[in-house]
Amino acid sequence: MIIKGFNTFRNRITLLTGGLLLSLSLVLITYLYHVATTRLSTASGESLVNISQSISTMLSANLIEREREIILLSKRSSLFKEQDLSDLQEAIDQIKDSYKYYAWIGFANPDGVVLASGNGLLKGADVSQRPWFINGQAGAFIGDVHKALLLERLLPKSQTGTPIRFIDFSAPVMGEDGELKGVVATHADWLWVDDVLSSAFTQVSERKGVDIFIIDNENNVLYPDNDLGDIEVPSALPQENQFQSLVWQDGEDYLTSLVAVNFPESTNLGWKVVVRQPTAIAMADVKEVHRLLLVLGVFSTLLCMWLAYRFASSLSRPLERLAKTARNIQQGNRNVSFQDDSQLKEVTSLSRSLQEMMSSLLDRERTLLQLTVTLEAKVKARTAQLEASNRSLEALARQDPLTKIFNRLALDEALLKEYELAREHNTEFAIIMADADYFKKVNDQYGHTVGDNVLKNIANVMKDIVDSAGMAARFGGEEFTVLLPNTQIEKAQQVAETLREKIASTEMDTGLFVTASFGVAMFKMTDDHYEQVLNRADAALYKAKDRGRNCVVVSD
């Protein structure tokens, strides 16, 4: 089934070209969507990796620096004499003053007894069981983060109230003879990590929702302090220098990166810097690009359809113009022509063909019109001729050929009409029957031609006398009839007398006079047929003959 409105050239071209353009733009937009999504996601993840790497680098540099300081102190300590520890004490004080996060610096002899320390803290204390002393005898050592034990009571409380934690750096002090003279150590306050990270935080402060964690080799959170013990990192963390989207303890999805901290060669504590950012924020740029692509998609759709419509219109408009012209011509408008201004060769050709066809058809139409007019005129003239012929034929059919007055047929028709009129409207009419007297003798004596002339003259007399008062007709042979409508008996008798006198006094042929006898009868309402009136008039005529002729007898 064809959808209504789809079966136009313009709409089909629009849908076809629009569909093609739209498909192309959708493919392009889908490609851009995937490329943008991949690249922006990668960029967000790599940005987190970069932050992790920069923090890792700073931490690593700081650890190396602290280790270098303790090694330098150990070398310098080898010069002191056990009897005089003033040089060592001076060196310890200098180092402690050089770095504010050194909570404690001290020197313990091979027995683990503290001989010298900053501010004299723990002087004389036995540290032989502390990991930094045990490990520090063999070489440079970095001890993992731990709570303060002996120093907890000796140092001022932290402002945040969290327990003081240290990271230990220690190194052996060797004499010139290669014998162990003791171990030097520093306890750096873990707060130094805040200092290390502050610069990194400054850089990432614009990145909303970014959290930084430092975890040990068992994935315990070392930093931040405030969240110690509260936050756990996901068990499946990204690979080294990688990022991935992970669901954390709070059920939120975070883009998470992981970078290992480079430790000095002496000790690798296996720390890692983990940076996370809520995926919703990290992917905000991606969403923005998606929104832009959506707008671009809508815009390109509208543009494609508009371009397609313009293209389809440019194709269909010339055809629609031709169709409109054809409709105009069909409706009778002859003052139009098929325009020939299209740039399409096929349309131009069609337009010319239609124009030529129209000219040819109009020529034929004009010819046909002229023929029709001529034919109509001929038919009209012929019809008029026929009507005239019919009229004269009708007249001839009702005319007596000899006397040229009405014949029996005309008399019968007139009588019938008058009879019906009289019956319907109670009117009167009279009939006069006339018959030439001794007419056989005329024929016999003068010949038929004279006889005919006599009959013609009698007819003329009757026609002249009756005139408009009625109708004179030849009844047959030498017998005549007069019909007098609306005439009373007296008047009818008077007309009969006038006729008798005029006939008798008229010279019918040279020296020839004839007479005629008359019978007069009136219509009666009791008559069933007009012939009854004729019969009565005829009967009266016979009476006139019997009475000697040349007289008028009126019927009862």
Ligand X SMILES: Nc1nc2c(ncn2[C@@H]2O[C@H](COP(=O)(O)OP(=O)(O)OP(=O)(O)O)[C@@H](O)[C@H]2O)c(=O)[nH]1
Chain positions contacting ligand X, by CB under 6 A: 435-440, 443, 448, 451-452, 455, 477-478, 545, 549
Q: How far is the CB of 550 from ligand X (least distance, A)?
A: 10
Closer by beta carbon to ligand X, 34 or else 441 = 441
Cβ-based nearer residue to ligand X, 70 or 455: 455
Burial class of 518 by CB neighbour count within 10 A (0 to 12, 13 to 18, 19+) = buried
Q: Considering Cα of 252, then 162, then 135, then 188, what sign does the dihedral take?
A: positive
Minimum CB distance to ligand X smaller for 438 or for 513: 438
Q: To the nearest whole angstrom, how small is the minimum distance from the Cβ of residue 437 to ligand X?
A: 4
Nearer Cβ to ligand X (31/438) = 438
Measured between alpha carbons, how far apart are the two ends of the chain, in Å? 96
Task: Compute the least distance from the CB of residue 447 to ligand X, in Å.
Answer: 8
Nearest approach in angstroms of CB 402 to ligand X is 6
Q: How far apart are CA 151 and CA 128, in angstroms?
A: 15
Toward ligand X, which CB reaches closer, 6 or 438?
Answer: 438
Decide whether 19 or 447 has the Cβ nearer to ligand X: 447
Strand pairing class (471-476; 479-485): antiparallel
Long-range contacts, stretch 155-160, CB < 8 angstroms, 24+ apart: 155/103, 155/104, 155/121, 158/191, 160/225, 160/226
Nearer to ligand X, 103 or 534 (CB): 534
Q: How many CA atoms lie within 13 A of 6 on its CB side?
A: 6
Q: C-beta of 464: minimal distance to ligand X in Å?
A: 21
CB of 382 to ligand X, least distance (A): 38
Q: How far is the CB of 544 from ligand X (least distance, A)?
A: 10
Q: In terms of residues, how long is the chain? A: 556
Q: Which is nearer to ligand X, 123 or 545 (CB)?
A: 545
By the 8 A CB rule, do 25 and 301 touch? yes
Q: Residue 220 or residue 443: which is nearer to ligand X going by CB?
A: 443
Give min distance, CB of 517 to ligand X, in A: 7
221 within 8 A of 228, measured Cβ to Cβ: yes
Question: At closest approach, how far in Å is the CB of 479 from ligand X?
Answer: 9
146 vs 545 by CB, closer to ligand X = 545
The nearer residue to ligand X, 67 or 478, going by C-beta atoms, is 478
Residue 527: CB minimum distance to ligand X, A: 26
Query: Three-class SS of residue 178?
Result: coil
Closest residue to ligand X: CB criterion: 451
- The C-alpha atoms of residue 80 and residue 125 are separated, in whole angstroms, by 20
By C-beta, is 531 or 546 nearer to ligand X? 546
Q: In whole angstroms, what is the distance from residue 208 CA to residue 256 CA?
A: 14
**387 CA to centre of own chain:** 68
Query: For ligand X, which is the closer residue by CB, 387 or 452?
Result: 452
- The conformation of residue 239, written as its DSSP 8-state character, comes to P
Nearest to 289 by CA among 37, 24, 550: 37
Side chain identity at residue 21, one-letter code: L
Nearer to ligand X, 182 or 451 (CB): 451
Instruction: Please state the closest distance from residue 548 (CB atom) to ligand X, in A.
Output: 10
Q: What string of DSSP letters covers 91-153?
A: HHHHHHHH-TTEEEEEEE-TTSBEEEEGGGTTTT-B-TTSHHHHHHTTS-EEEEEEE-SGGGT
Minimum separation from the CB atom of position 403 to ligand X (A):
9
Kindly give the pairing relationship between strand 253-260 and strand 429-436. Answer: unpaired
Whole-number minimum distance, CB 443 to ligand X, in Å? 5
Q: Measured between alpha carbons, how far is 468 from 460 in angstroms, rounded to an integer?
A: 14
CB 367, min distance to ligand X, A: 60
> How far is Cα 140 from Cα 267, in angstroms, rounded to an integer?
8
Report in angstroms the alpha-carbon separations of 253 from 46, 246, 278, 284, 381.
Answer: 17, 6, 6, 14, 107
Closest CA to 200 of 139, 257, 134, 125: 257
Give SS3 for 404: coil
- Strand-strand pairing, 552-554 and 516-522: parallel
Report the alpha-carbon distance of residue 421 to residue 429 in Å, rounded. Answer: 10
